[in-house]
Structure 1
């Protein structure tokens, strides 16, 4: 189950490398928590009572097509109107005909996925890490103070 402070994103993807890539991308949005299901059946079990912020569905799942799964997910409380994205290599798939709001083509473009996440669920980029004060100090003082 997701942490209460983080909003769940359900990603249904049977290829482990694609799931790892999405996990790495979502690390840049700490307010989101990625939950991965590898089959349609597992996704239905996970989604029950989840109230996800976003659904990300691969189309070529081992037990069903992602478009069929979306129809089944829409019948669950909390998933009726959640934005759903088809994540697929099939760039000609007619997403609007099946209830998806958009298509993210594989291979994923990290910057585009982050921008679309921000637009769809209202996330913000994580602040850049601060450099240690010694490195951040301008001028030679910070670098030469250790040599005196």
Structure 2
């Protein structure tokens, strides 16, 4: 069965700079759409029926820890088997005993992130600049209402 032309990555992150960075990274993968939630509750709401091909979860969310959110996401239809990555500045976090398949430490190393995204999703790189059209790329970042957790 061929994979759909476009697939979704769900990124749960409350820091706007990290969201912008991941959006820029995924611009290099035109077959992936990025959907962002900035809280665990929002992630659960957005994930309903989303069937993401990859889950990227920050651990320090304003309303829960990412490791507490992951089992709740796994219980939703379409999220049970998607690879899940802990994206965190917490270098001491151990993924053993969780259903995270990997940990990507912040600050992210972009080339490594792209390589892992390709491996985990089967995505492919965008065409080289000489083969791209000059039309602006379509808006692919679906942000729900973004309210930072800090004052």
Residue number in structure 2 paired with 1:22 = 22
In structure 2, distance between residues paired with 1:102 and 1:96: 10
Alignment length (residue pairs): 128
Q: Does 1:92 align with 2:92?
A: yes
Q: Does 1:108 align with 2:108?
A: yes
Helix, strand or coil for the counterpart of 1:22?
helix
Q: How far apart are residue 91 of structure 1 and its match?
A: 1.9
In structure 2, distance between residues paired with 1:99 and 1:5: 27
Q: Which runs of 5+ in 1 are unaligned?
A: 132-148
Larger Rg: 1
Q: Is the 8 A contact 1:10 1:34 kept in 2?
A: yes
| TM-score, normalising length: structure 2 | 0.82
Helix, strand or coil for the counterpart of 1:116?
helix
Matches of residues 1-148 of structure 1 in structure 2 within 5 Å? 5-130=5-130
Q: Which runs of 4+ in 1 moved over 2 A?
A: none
Q: Is the 8 A contact 1:44 1:73 kept in 2?
A: yes
1:5-34 deviations in Å (ceiling 9; x for gaps):
421100000000000000000000010000
In structure 1, distance between residues paired with 2:33 and 2:13: 15
Q: How far apart are residue 90 of structure 1 and its match?
A: 1.1
Residue number in structure 2 paired with 1:145 = none
Structure with greater helix percent: 1
1:59-95 deviations in Å (ceiling 9; x for gaps):
0000000000001001000101110000001122111
In structure 1, distance between residues paired with 2:129 and 2:19: 25
Give the alignment's Cα RMSD to 1 decimal.
Answer: 1.2
| TM-score, normalising length: structure 1 | 0.84
Helix, strand or coil for the counterpart of 1:86?
strand
